[in-house]
Homo-oligomer: A and B are copies of this chain.
């Protein structure tokens, strides 16, 4: 269970009292506030704060596009128009602040998205907890043989058992030694900033992460994607559920134009045009490489 009784008590306290505000309020998001949504075996995501809602996106767009936006009859239509035409600045007018607990190797992928503000728990000043991510057996995937990026089938039997044993035992031993090294009982005690180097990449860390909606959607497009590593995708999926309740119009447009859409190249568009005219197009006549053609066919078959 990811939350300690103290953490749960803190959340209950935070959720028990409201205050009046003149700011834009998203009822859907208020329902999520502070509540930790469990992810993986010990992780979570919870919303600490947010700014703006669907109406705030439109309000900013109307300042900047003026009359142009008045011809669009309503907020949903305007938001779809903005998303379709890559007008990103109105989406930047919303902001979210999340508290995330996650394994270090996931944090290392996540932080590559630079346009966000981060305050991470510091193992230089503080002592880490004895918590490690150990995959559930069904997520113990083999290396894919057809694809450099993906995963193959789940491991089974003795191989799976051995992997789980290694992950658990190595983490536990590393943590035992971490504690021994920093202990000040009958010894000086190694500096925390050094001792932490003994801990493996499945150790949990946590941070506050604040980002605007435009950059969040970009993150979600890459990380809620089927090609993303499972362990970060589950965080992205959890955040998607929050965003859907926070800014429902923006999220729906995002699903249609980004998540479910596809970028077709000039060559691919040309092939579509030829096919619609009845021509039989093959990889050889397409002008695409084998890899491109395979991806193109997957899009046409709805497997992209």
Q: Give residues in A with beta carbon < 8 Å to B.
A: 14-15, 17-25, 30, 33-34, 48-52, 56, 59-61, 63-68, 71, 77, 80-81, 84, 86, 89-90, 92-93, 95, 97, 99, 103-105, 107-108, 111-112, 114-115, 117-127, 133, 135, 140-144, 148-149, 151-153, 155, 159, 162-163, 166-167, 170-171, 173-174, 177, 180-182, 184, 187-194, 196-202, 206-208, 210, 212, 222, 229, 255-257, 259-270, 272-273, 275-276, 289, 291-292, 295, 299-302, 304
Q: Do residues B260 and A262 form an inter-chain contact, with CB atoms below 8 A? A: no
**CA–CA, A210 and B210, complex, Å:** 14
3 smallest beta-carbon distances between A and B, as pairs: A66-B126, A260-B266, A18-B20
Docked-complex contact B196 and A201, CB < 8 angstroms:
yes
**A6 CA to B56 CA in the complex, in Å?**
19
CB distance from A264 to the nearest CB of B (A): 6
Decide: A133 and B197 in contact? CB cutoff 8 A.
yes
Apart from A108-B108, A162-B180: 4 A-B pairs, beta carbons within 8 A: A19-B25, A21-B23, A197-B202, A276-B276
Contacts A18-B21, A95-B51, A124-B229; is A190 near B65 (CB within 8 Å)? Answer: no
Q: Are B173 and A170 in contact (CB under 8 A)?
A: yes
* Also in contact, A276 and B300, with CB within 8 A (given A64-B122, A141-B194, A163-B181): yes
Q: What separation, in Å, do the CA atoms of A112 and B103 have in the docked complex?
A: 17
Verify A152–B22 contact, CB threshold 8 A: no
| Chain B residue nearest to A266 in the complex (CB) | B260
Q: How many copies does the complex hold?
A: 4
Would B200 and A65 count as touching, CB distance under 8 A?
Answer: no
| Shortest Cβ distance from residue A128 to the other chain B in the assembled complex, whole angstroms | 10
> Nearest CB to that of A167 among chain B residues?
B198
What's the Cα separation between A192 and B144 when bound, in Å?
9
- With both chains docked as a complex, state the minimum distance between the C-beta of A266 and any C-beta of chain B, in angstroms: 3
Residue contact A104 to B201, C-beta cutoff 8 Å: yes
- Neighbouring B residues of A114 by C-beta, 8 Å: 114-115
Residues of B within 8 A of A268 (CB): 261
Question: Given that A68-B125, A194-B141 are contacting pairs, would A153 and B63 also be in contact in the complex, using a CB cutoff of 8 Å?
Answer: no
Which residues of the other chain, B, contact A276 by a CB distance below 8 angstroms?
A: 272, 275-276, 300
Q: Which residues of B contact A194 (CB under 8 A)?
A: 135, 140-141, 151
Instruction: Tell whether, in the assembled complex, residue A143 and residue B190 are in contact, meaning their CB atoms are under 8 Å apart.
Output: yes
A225 to chain B, nearest CB (A): 10
Contact B265 A261 (CB under 8 A): yes
Contact B21 A67 (CB under 8 A): no
